[in-house]
Amino acid sequence: MVALSYEPPSVTEPIPIDNHLWLWHPFVIHMDDIMKRNLSLEKKNVKAAKTKWPDKQIARFIPLLRELTRAHRLSVAAGDIILLNGGWYVTHSGLLRLARRSRCTGIHVQPTLAFCDPSEKRWAFEATVYKSRSCRGFVGFGDADPSNVCSLVHGAEMRVAETRAVNRALRKAYGIGICSVEEIGSFAEPAHSYREPNQLPPQPANGNYGGPKVRDRLCQLIRQHRLDPNLVKSYATDFCGVKALREATREQVEAFVAHLADWAEKDRNALLCQLNSYLSPKEGAA
């Protein structure tokens, strides 16, 4: 008869339970994965910022962009944040995406009648953001009238005021210290400096601008969204990183047209503010 011997496992060596914890624990948060995603978005934002604003000494704005990315996961490519007149501004669409990611419970908006005067196109709104069901709410106010909005959005003061109120409430709720681009009114040019949107910029003799189809698409966007063609041309030159638009390659122009169409569809007010940053000092002081 053969005697069987049994040797218990050594207890001197620790069992690596932590390495296999994810196999059975459904509530483990993988911090490494979160950090990797944040780092990936940070790199994408830096690359996108250098592509969009190549001639604006972007290097000195990168540290704040990294901080905003880590804190709020704002995306440059998605239009969550833009660089305007030497500073970062969050956009309305970026704030809404942040609220959705944070599982915001709801936003209540109502006009502040005491400060509204429809005959003067003066509107004021109060917005309250509820981060959770037990949240007591974060309140923000926004106002708009023809004197503090861009002339390109005259007639839409009520919607601008509502958007500003929502933006302020969302910034308070999620601790965003930078201003939203829809809240600023100092870049609105006087009404008499507005140029007819149907007057397209002169076309180059060599037929560049990306070819007939791309050029036609750009003209269609200018008409559809009532954009100033001269400001669009200035923005396109800056976006493509060239001194004159005729020097841009077809790929660069196609990328700009796609970017312009996407931004105009998602947040036209933010796009208009970006275009207004290309107004000449004479036009701004007119």
Half-sphere exposure of residue 223: CA atoms within 13 angstroms, side-chain side:
9
Residues 187 and 148: their CA atoms lie apart, in Å, by 9
Residues 70 and 79: their CA atoms lie apart, in Å, by 16
CATH topology of domain 39-188: Double Stranded RNA Binding Domain (3.30.160)
Residues 266 and 239: their CA atoms lie apart, in Å, by 19
Is this model's pTM higher than 0.75 or not?
Answer: no
pLDDT digits (tens, 9 = 90+) for 73-112: 999 998 999 988 788 999 999 999 999 999 999 999 999 9
- Residue 275: name the closest of 259, 253, 255, 251 by CA: 259
Average pLDDT, whole number, for the chain?
79
Q: Is the pLDDT of residue 147 over 50?
A: yes
Average pLDDT over residues 154-171: 94
Q: Give CATH 3.30.160.20 domain extents, the chain.
A: 39-188
Average pLDDT over residues 187-201: 39
